[in-house]
A = this chain, B = another copy of it.
Amino acid sequence: MNIRTDLAVEAANMHKEVSGGIESILEEDNGIKIERIKITSEAAAEAVGKPIGNYITITVNDLSENNREEYEKACICVAKELKNILNIEESASVLAIGLGNGHITADSIGPESVKRLLVTRHIKEIMPEEIDESVRSVSALAPSVMAFTGIETSCIVKGVIEKTKPDLVIAIDALASRSMARLGKTIQIADTGINPGSGVGNNRKELSEKTLGVRVIAIGVPMVVDAVTVALDALDTTGATEEEKRVFFEAYKRMEPLGADMVVTPKDVDSLAKRSAMIIANGMNLALQSALGKEDIDRYTQI
């Protein structure tokens, strides 16, 4: 059964039979849950469907009440984890890529995040004397989706990388989860780049060091769940056997009523998407610019 998930922590949980090559640690930092998955062998990578690498999953606390304290804690936690995984010199330049379709709320995390970044590359290039040397060169791009550009997203990104030569790429994207409880509440940071096929299944090509020639850190937030997942969860609660679930899964996939729109999203997707983008953007700003602190949260936004 090919349940769609872009979260390594879920994929690992779904393949507990894998005997080696996966390390898993659960931590708590200032009240925020952090799960670390390390995939270390090709065998494990193939079994769980995720490349070798590190995957950090941060679960933010409930932000539905606009709790500023929890919000700032989430920004700072993302900053800390990101800084750690980035592991770059102060002089290294970064290109942020906000993937996805900004006009579909559930797919807008990438474009909404890059709108809130502190972008500095042009100042460093054009008037370096105006800016402190310690400021990192950051550029940002929201390349939209192939259905609207007619161009593979990876092709646009490659064109821009060749012209601007960043030392590192951070790609931000909406993900698919197998759990409704994770939607808009989990942030995954990975050092493996973006590897579709394992995820929502759009045909944009891989964005990774292999394809782009620079290291690619991926940040993602699950915003959709496959409808079939919701159904399978239901079967689980009734104690259905694996065989029953398999029969169901195949029947379900043929089900007319659900048609092509089997991906579902929670009703409050609008606020979940906006909040997630704000946390990612602030986390990136704090991680990338050493001079910024807690008091600079929400300081950089295009509108």
Contact = CB atoms under 8 A, between A and B. Distances in A.
Contacts of A163: 151, 155-156, 158-159
Given A148-B115, A238-B244, A303-B274, A298 B257 contact: no
A234 B237 contact: no
Given A120-B150, A235-B235, A230 B66 contact: no
A105 interface: yes
A121 interface: yes
A103 B303 contact: yes
Interface string A107-126: 10000001100011111001
Contact of A149 (B101, B141, B162, B237): B141
A106 B123 CA distance: 24
A68 B299 contact: yes
Interface string A169-200: 00000000001110100000000000000000
Interface in A65-95: 65-69
A10 to B, nearest CB: 12
A151 B122 contact: yes
Copies per complex of this chain:
4
A69 to B, nearest CB: 7
Interface size class of A (residues with CB under 8 A): 35 or more
Contacts of A104: 267-268, 270-271
Contacts of A179: 257
A296 B68 CA distance: 7
A29 to B, nearest CB: 22
A28 interface: no
A164 B150 CA distance: 10
A55 to B, nearest CB: 20
A267 to B, nearest CB: 5
A94 to B, nearest CB: 10
A232 interface: yes
A147 B159 contact: no
Contact of A156 (B141, B149, B274): B141
Interface stretch (A30-38, A208-216, A245-253): A245-253
Interface in A235-270: 235, 237-238, 240, 244, 247-248, 251-252, 255-259, 261-270
6 contacts: A68-B298, A114-B148, A122-B149, A224-B267, A265-B265, A274-B303
For the complex of A and B, list the 8 residue pairs with the smallest distance between their C-beta atoms, beginning with the closest.
A231-B234, A159-B159, A121-B150, A139-B150, A264-B264, A181-B257, A119-B150, A159-B163
